Amino acid sequence: MKKDIINLKIPSKPDYISVVRLTSSAIASNLGLNIEEIEDIKVSIAEACINAINKSSEINIQFEIEKDKLTIKVNNVHPLEEDKSNLNKELELGILIIKSLMDEVNFSEEGVEMIKYIEDGNK
């Protein structure tokens, strides 16, 4: 199966993060993931968006759907920000949550890549 790609671009505002959560739930549910896995994806992608907010005017999210995995890329997500006291603490929590809930997490110049593997036979 070739990769199916869904792109989502939202204004960089708190108002639209719930839209991303709902979209992620729908995509993950379509793939036959269970409720806990869907919740993990929803929480992780929201944390990635929170990290990306205020860094540019738009947040780009890309879902790559393959037979055995769902890869989500979010631009402008970085593990460490310049020190902003309380805000920095929250960003750290967000990164910790993403790393704990997703199967694989890679950071690059561009942003973050988060992978959830799809196990066969539970559909």
Partner 1 sequence: MSLDIDVKFNEDNNSWVVYLKGELDIYTSPELKETLIDALDKKDGNIIINGKNLDYVDSTGLGVLISILKRVREKDNNVYLQNIKPNIRKLFDITKLDKVFIFKE
Residues that bind partner 1 (CB under 8 A): 14-15, 17-18, 21, 36, 39, 43, 46-47, 50, 53, 86, 89-91, 93-94, 96-97, 100-101
Q: Name which of 65 and 102 has its Cβ closer to partner 1.
A: 102
Q: Name which of 2 and 85 has its Cβ closer to partner 1.
A: 85
48 contacts 96 by C-beta, under 8 angstroms: no
Q: How far is CA 76 from CA 28, 32, 52, 112, in A?
A: 23, 29, 5, 8
Tokens of 2: 């070739």
How many Å apart are CA 104 and CA 108, to the nearest integer?
A: 13
How many Å apart are CA 95 and CA 80, to the nearest integer?
A: 9
CB of 34 to partner 1, least distance (A): 12
How many Å apart are CA 48 and CA 72, to the nearest integer?
A: 10
CB of 107 to partner 1, least distance (A): 17
Q: Name which of 47 and 113 has its Cβ closer to partner 1.
A: 47
CB of 98 to partner 1, least distance (A): 10
Q: Name which of 50 and 65 has its Cβ closer to partner 1.
A: 50
